[in-house]
Chains A and B, each alone.
Chain A
Amino acid sequence: NAGVTQTPKFQVLKTGQSMTLQCAQDMNHEYMSWYRQDPGMGLRLIHYSVGAGITDQGEVPNGYNVSRSTTEDFPLRLLSAAPSQTSVYFCASSYSRQGYTGELFFGEGSRLTVL
């Protein structure tokens, strides 16, 4: 069972470079989200989607873009990477369309370093 798959697992960028973190789930979940995790700060929501074609901002959206063209995929784009975006990024999905009642299923994370 694949669940939530994130790629790449590790990435090093230079300031100003762009990249896309990929996320795919095979559970037919309507709700998908991106979090960043920094030491001592817990998980912070970047963007989320309640279904294909629908996205919305979370707590820390600046510097990140998302799109949801299919139920399965929810890529996160960094347009111009900054050192402040060095973090571990997690993609998570849920059965619930609004994500507010159910279990979140997480990927294994993508560790990003911006030099």
Chain B
Amino acid sequence: TQLLEQSPQFLSIQEGENLTVYCNSSSVFSSLQWYRQEPGEGPVLLVTVVTGGEVKKLKRLTFQFGDARKDSSLHITAAQPGDTGLYLCAAYSNYQLIWGAGTKLIIKP
């Protein structure tokens, strides 16, 4: 069974701090996606990374795909309360998405 392990499971920080969350696996993936889910809603795609070593930026969010395409990280600079949510990583394998359990992020004002 292929697994995507996300860490930490829970993170609570003050507004303005920086943070990094991780998505790791022992398997190689053709692509990896990050979604954000807010309470009472479905996940929404933030980014897809495809190439090993790829870095994508979305305002204060920086996503990186590992060189070996086995892992990814999400770095948030100067976190804001609007960044609060559940961050899920997902990777395609055998034409289906495998999901991590998520990192629950709370940004306190």
Chain A contact residues, CB within 8 Å of chain B:
4, 40-45, 48, 58, 90, 92, 98-101, 103-104, 106-109
Contacts and interface: CB of A to CB of B under 8 A. Distances in A.
B101 A99 contact: no
The 10 lowest CB-CB distance pairs between A and B, nearest first, are A106-B42, A100-B95, A42-B101, A42-B99, A43-B99, A103-B45, A100-B92, A98-B95, A90-B42, A106-B43
B40 interface: yes
B109 to A, nearest CB: 26
A86 to B, nearest CB: 17
B101 A109 contact: no
Given A58-B96, A100-B96, A101-B31, A41 B101 contact: yes
The dominant DSSP class at the A interface is loop
Contact of A42 (B40, B44, B48, B88): B88
A109 B95 contact: no
Interface in B18-54: 31, 33, 35, 40-45, 48
Given A40-B101, A42-B88, A43-B88, A109 B41 contact: yes
Interface string B83-102: 00000101010011101111
Given A42-B88, A101-B31, A103-B48, A109 B96 contact: no
Contacts of A44: 99
A103 B90 CA distance: 11
Contacts of A40: 9, 101
A99 B31 contact: no
A99 B44 contact: no
A100 B29 CA distance: 11
A104 B97 CA distance: 10
B92 A101 contact: yes
Given A100-B92, A104-B35, 17 more contacts: A40-B9, A40-B101, A42-B4, A42-B88, A42-B99, A42-B100, A42-B102, A43-B90, A44-B99, A45-B97, A48-B96, A58-B96, A99-B95, A101-B92, A104-B43, A108-B41, A109-B42
